[in-house]
Amino acid sequence: MDGEKPKKESLAAVLLPRRQARPSWDEYFFQIAEQVATRSTCMRRQVGAVLVKDRRILSTGYNGAPRGISHCTQVGCLREQMGIPSGERHELCRALHAEQNAIAQAALHGVKIDGSTLYCTHQPCSLCAKMIINSGIVEVYFDKGYPDELATGLFAEAGIRLHRMGG
């Protein structure tokens, strides 16, 4: 009788260890938001936002100047020049926030975002929070904090669920 043939490793056994751990849906969309943020032209922080409903991406946005307008990285940013602290005097910067751009992109293309979830690299500011509430977004996932207590209060009052990634 022949001895047992040496066991051949299955293809899956060979390939599986090389694969990255499969992310959860929340991790997956959050990782995409982090990728979106790399397109930002803000001189202070790169923020990315992704709007999702039923596991479909509806819209994305990063912080930067409106279409056809020079970016802060090209012409300078008044907030930077005046040494305005983080979270204050947003109106002095020419850029839109990532969340605002994601909402505007949806409007531009006629995509309904009522009932959607926002994945954002940073906690939204109070101005974005107000837009998020009235856009019908029901849930927000973020990672990095932002010095804006009004925003968290507005979300709580509006019943929007806030989740910190990894926390």
Q: Does 102 sit near Zn ion (CB under 5 A)?
A: no
d(CA 57, CA 53) in angstroms, rounded, equals 7
Shorter beta-carbon distance to Zn ion: residue 58 or 98: 98
Return the SS3 of 138. coil
Scan residues 35-94 and list those touching Zn ion (CB under 5 A).
72, 77, 93
Q: Does 97 sit near Zn ion (CB under 5 A)?
A: yes
CB of 125 to Zn ion, least distance (A): 3
Sheet holding 48-53, edge to edge: 56-62, 48-53, 117-122, 139-144, 161-164
Shorter beta-carbon distance to Zn ion: residue 44 or 163: 44
Angle at 75 between CA 73 and CA 81, to 5 degrees: 85
CB neighbourhood size of 77 (10 A): 20
d(CA 161, CA 116) in angstroms, rounded, equals 12
Catalytic annotation on 99? yes
Scan residues 124-153 and list those touching Zn ion (CB under 5 A).
125, 128
Shorter beta-carbon distance to Zn ion: residue 58 or 132: 132
Choose, from 99, 139, 149, 157, the residue flagged as catalytic.
99
Rounded to 5 degrees, φ, ψ at 159 are 75, 25
CB of 162 to Zn ion, least distance (A): 14
Q: Which residues bind Zn ion (CB under 5 A)?
A: 72, 77, 93, 95, 97, 125, 128
- Active-site amino acid positions: 99
